């Protein structure tokens, strides 16, 4: 005769919860060990099973005097399921709203014509000019470190403006690249696009 296979942890949870709801009473941990044993759940596993049920809000617990009591009433089970349902419905509604928003954005992007290679090259050249200008201003700041605070503040302001412009062109290039790759899906990869238009591998925003 084959040896009977023991219950899994989830099966122990279901068995003990059903037993507690059937009794509709309050239990100490010791009493739950006895109850569990009568249903085939070994006493050594009861503590972990009960803690898991409490974490799942399937079982309630409270300390009365020096004793910690546990209980699971059918009415509480219904309330717990209703709360979970409300949470899932709210999350579903939120995700549906996000999906509609993304679909609208995708529709808007898809309706825009793909940029020509000439337009992409122009954007790349303008971005490179802004980056070069920003680097030049940074070099000038280093040269003017010993100048008065007014001059230094002016140079820092110009650098911030140049950095903003460079990052703005970086945004434009990223948008153009996304549109181009979507229109030419399967024909050209992102790395091929970067190589064709001379975009460096470390192409990123200025900090």
pLDDT band at 70 (very low <50, low <70, confident <90, very high): very high
pLDDT in tens, 143-164: 666 556 665 566 666 666 766 7
Which has the higher per-residue pLDDT, 12 or 121? 12
What is the crossing angle of helices 43-55 and 9-23, to 10°?
Answer: 80
| Cβ 159 vs Cβ 138: under 8 Å | yes
Tally: H helices and E strands in the chain? 7, 3
pTM of model > 0.85: no
Question: Above pLDDT 90, what percent of the chain?
Answer: 24
| Cβ 72 vs Cβ 21: under 8 Å | yes
d(CA 30, CA 43): 9
pLDDT at 203 over 60: no
Establish how many alpha carbons lie within 13 A of residue 107's alpha carbon, considering only the half-sphere containing its beta carbon: 6
């Amino acid at each position: 005769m084959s040896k009977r296979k023991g219950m899994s942890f989830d099966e122990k949870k279901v068995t003990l919860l059903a037993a507690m709801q059937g009794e509709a009473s309050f239990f100490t941990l010791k009493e739950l060990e006895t109850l569990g044993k009568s249903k085939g759940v070994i006493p050594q596993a009861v503590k972990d099973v009960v803690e898991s049920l409490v974490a799942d809000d399937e079982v309630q617990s409270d300390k009365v005097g020096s004793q910690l009591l546990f209980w699971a009433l059918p009415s509480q089970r219904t309330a717990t399921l209703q709360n979970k349902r409300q949470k899932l419905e709210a999350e579903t509604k939120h995700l549906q709203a996000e999906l509609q928003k993304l679909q609208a954005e995708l529709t808007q992007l898809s309706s825009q014509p793909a940029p020509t290679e000439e337009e992409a090259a122009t954007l790349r050249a303008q971005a490179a000019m802004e980056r070069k200008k920003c680097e030049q201003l940074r070099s000038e700041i280093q040269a003017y470190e010993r100048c008065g605070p007014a001059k230094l503040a002016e140079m820092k302001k110009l650098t911030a403006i140049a950095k903003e412009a460079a990052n703005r062109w970086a945004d434009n290039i990223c948008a153009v690249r996304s549109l181009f790759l979507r229109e030419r899906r399967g024909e050209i990869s992102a790395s091929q696009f970067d190589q064709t238009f001379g975009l460096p591998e470390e192409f990123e925003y200025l900090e």
